[in-house]
Structure 1
Amino acid sequence: MPHLQSRAISVQTHLRDQVADALRAALIAGELRPGTVYSAPTLAAELGVSATPVREAMLDLAREGLVEAVRNKGFRITELTDRDLDEFTELRTLIEVPTVGRVAGTASTEELQALRPLAERIVTAAQERDILAYLEADHRFHLELLALGGNRHLVEVVADLRKRSRLYGLGHLNVSGQLVASAREHVELLDLLVAGRGAEAEECMRRHLAHIRTLWAGGTEDR
Structure 2
Amino acid sequence: MKQRAQGSAGAGTPPGDARVPAQPRPADAPDGFRERDTAVPAARAARGEHTHSERPIPEPRPAVQRSSVRGQILDALRTALVTGELKPGEVYSGPVLGDRFGVSATPVREAMQQLALEGAVEVVPNRGFRVVERGARELAELAEVRALIEVPVMLRLARTVPGERWTELRPLAEETVRAAGTGCPATYAESDRAFHRALLALSGNEQLVGIAADLHRRSQWPPVRRGRAYLVADAAEHMALLDALISGDVDGVRGLVSQHFAGAG
Q: TM-score, normalised by structure 1?
A: 0.86
Pair 1:13-2:13 in alignment = no
Pair 1:141-2:202 in alignment = no
Pair 1:154-2:211 in alignment = no
Q: Which has the higher contact order (CA 8 A, sep 6+)?
A: 1
Task: Deviation per CA, 1:162-190: give whole Å up to 9, x if none.
Answer: 121112225x424x532111110000000
In the other structure, the counterpart of 1:179 is 231
- In structure 2, stretches of 5+ residues that fail to align are 1-64
Q: How many residues align?
A: 202
Letter in 1 for 2:186: L
Shift of 1:12: 5.5
Task: Deviation per CA, 1:133-159: give whole Å up to 9, x if none.
Answer: 322211111011011122111111101
Secondary structure of 2:133's aligned partner: coil
Letter in 2 for 1:72: N
Letter in 1 for 2:174: E
Supply the distance in 2 between the matched residues of 1:130 and 1:40 (Cα, whole angstroms).
26
> Which of 90, 104, 107 is matched with 2:161 structurally?
107
Supply the distance in 2 between the matched residues of 1:102 and 1:150 (Cα, whole angstroms).
12
- In structure 1, stretches of 5+ residues that fail to align are 1-10, 214-223
8 Å Cα contact 2:180/2:231 also seen in 1:
yes
Letter in 2 for 1:26: A
Q: TM-score, normalised by structure 2?
A: 0.72
Structure ID, larger Rg: 2
> Which of 74, 77, 84 is matched with 1:23 structurally?
77
Pair 1:52-2:52 in alignment = no
8 Å Cα contact 1:122/1:137 also seen in 2:
yes
Moved more, 108-117 or 62-71: 108-117
Secondary structure of 1:178's aligned partner: helix
Where is the helix percentage greater, Structure 1 or Structure 2? 1
In the other structure, the counterpart of 1:32 is 86
In the other structure, the counterpart of 2:245 is 193
Supply the distance in 2 between the matched residues of 1:128 and 1:86 (Cα, whole angstroms).
26
- Over 3 Å off, 4+ runs: none
Shift of 1:199: 2.4
Letter in 2 for 1:99: V
Supply the distance in 2 between the matched residues of 1:111 and 1:76 (Cα, whole angstroms).
43
Supply the distance in 1 between the matched residues of 2:212 and 2:259 (Cα, whole angstroms).
17
Secondary structure of 1:69's aligned partner: strand
8 Å Cα contact 1:100/1:198 also seen in 2:
no
Pair 1:210-2:253 in alignment = no
> Which of 118, 123, 131 is matched with 2:172 structurally?
118
Supply the distance in 2 between the matched residues of 1:177 and 1:73 (Cα, whole angstroms).
39
Moved more, 127-136 or 83-92: 127-136
Letter in 1 for 2:226: L
Supply the distance in 2 between the matched residues of 1:49 and 1:195 (Cα, whole angstroms).
51
Pair 1:68-2:126 in alignment = no
Cα RMSD, aligned residues only: 1.6
Pair 1:81-2:147 in alignment = no
